Structure formats: C-alpha cells, structure tokens
Amino acid sequence: MAWVGALGKLGGVVACMGLGLAAWLGNVLYALGSPGGMLKEWSPALVAGAMIAYLVVHGRRTYSGRQLLSFVVLVFLIGWFFETVSLMTGFPVGNYHYTELMAPFLGHVPVSVMPAYCVMGYASWSMARLLLARTEWSGDNVLRFGVPVLAATLMVVWDLSMDPLRATVEGRWVWSGGGGHFGVPLENYIGWAFVTWIMFQSFALVVTGRHEPPARKVPRSAHRYLWLSVPLIWAAFAGEYLLNPFVSDRTDFVMIDGALVPVAEIFASIAFLTATTMLPLALLGVFAATRRIPASASRRGLAAGLAHGRAGDKR
C-alpha cells in the first residue's frame, strides 16, 4: 500500500534525527562518567554506533551505493596513509605517537581512528553542503571545490576542541615537544586541514562527475528534515565538551610545556571554545536546513547538474 511505502521513506529521516540524539546522549554520558568508570568505558560505543549508523542511513538517502562506498574507501585509504607517514616522519601533522590506550593497531595506526575519520568526515562534508546551499546535487564549482575547503575547515574546528582533551588530558596520544594550544602544536591543525581537504577533494571529484540517484528516496516534503539532522550529528561531541567544566570533579594537573595546568582550567577553556565555534556553526546549520529554497531554483540546479552529467557521458 502507498502509505506503507511513505512510512518506509520517512522512517529513514526519523532514524537520522534519532541517531543524532543518541550520539549526543552518548557524549553527555561520557562527560558524566568518572575516569576508569563504566560510563567512560562504554558510552563511546553508543556514540560510535550511532554515528556509523547515521553515515549509512543518511548516506543511502543522499548518495548512490557506489558514491557512499567511494567516500568510505577514500577516507580510510587517505587517512591511514597520512597517519602512517606522520607517525614515521612527522609530516604533515607533526611529531606524535599513540599510547596503548588506543590499542589495537593496524600497523602504526589505531584501528578506531579510521572509523572516527569516516563519521566526522561525513558529518563535516554534509555540514559544508548544507551551509553552502548544495543539498541538491550539482556539478558546479561550489560543490566541486568550495565544499571540500569548508568541510576541511569544519574538521579543524572540531579538532580544536577534541585534540587537547584526548591527547593532553586523557593521554591517548602524545605530542613530542608539546604545543601552544593546550599542548597541541599549530602544525597539527595545518596538517589536519591539508589531509582532510585531500579526502574531501577526492570525493568531490567522484560525486560531481555525474548525477546518480540516491540508493533510497526521501519524500520531497521530508527533505529539509533529513538535512536538519546534519548539524545535530556534526555537533554531537559538543555535548561532552560543554558539560565537562560543570560535571567534572577533577582536581588534578597535567604538564604542558613544562608547566602544571589544572585539568579543570582546560575543561573550562575548551567549553568556551566549543560554545564560540562549534555551537554557532551548528545553529547556522539549523537555520540553513530550515530556510525555504524556491522550487524553481531547485529545479534549475538539478537540470543544470543533469545536463552536466549528460555532457560528461558524451565525452
């Protein structure tokens, strides 16, 4: 029956919103947990599961199966290659090494790192498409070149809050010589922008080559709700970063460039950073998802994209 099919199509949209909320819940639980406690141990599984499922559910409603697989493969291969090169040579993100807290490893790289690249990479790519008004397929230069640059920038914005907490506070990896951003060197963020831009630019060349319908269709009326879930999933880690200074009772110190710094001070600074970077961008994404795009403009964009794809086929 028609209504059963409609419910099936809407189910994916509802699932995306639910998975975004689940990722937020997992990060809130992580903030509430004590070091070495059960919440700290198991809440990352909820976050990882929700974000991986989101990639699949949202991705199948946005891309063809071939395109989605291309994204995963490109991110895994490019990410693993540059992680390995960086660990061995210090280029392009600086000199660091992972600790046993990140075991098991694939070569020199922790197994858990590549899925993290993939899910946050997908969230950042989707946010860039949303902010640049390219939620509809297009073969233009904004999607081909603008979205990769913005997506890489969004990955750096996230890393500014994440890296000091995971490296300096939790000791999951160690930066040789420390650095100016709570023990993290500036070189890391420049290199991170470079590596993630290569990922996104490679995928952009794949996805803009020709139009391919998504693996699963979404009703036109539900399209904006599908994209409304994007800022929710991209900012999911903010749930932890913002809560840390209010719920943590840590009174210990960490060594940064030869000086003892209270963990509570780092938590407060990262919460402020998150509130002035990730949070405003997420709200901007919500606004972008809810604004009305004239149907005529949407049809013109799709028509131009289809024409571009046909021209490519003839060549």
Q: CA 293: distance to chain centroid? A: 25
Whether the model pTM is above 0.85:
yes
Cβ(69)–Cβ(76) below 8 Å: no
Q: What is the pLDDT of residues 41-85, one digit of tens each?
A: 999 999 999 999 999 999 999 999 999 999 999 999 999 999 999
Alpha carbon 124 to its chain centroid, in Å, reads 4
- Averaged pLDDT, 291-299: 49
Amino acid type, 168: T
Could you give phi then psi for residue 262, rounded to 5 degrees? Answer: -65, 135
In the predicted model, is pLDDT for residue 231 greater than 70?
yes
Q: What is the pLDDT of residues 176-204, one digit of tens each?
A: 989 999 999 999 999 999 999 999 999 99
160 and 260 Cβ atoms separated by less than 8 Å: no
On the question of a cis peptide bond just before residue 92, with omega within 30 degrees of 0, the verdict is yes
Q: Provide the pLDDT for residue 292.
A: 59
Determine how many CB atoms are found less than 10 A away from the CB of residue 246: 10
Nearest to 230 by CA among 126, 121, 116: 126
CA 6 to chain centre: 29
What is the spatial distance between Cα 5 and Cα 138, in angstroms, rounded to a whole number? Answer: 28
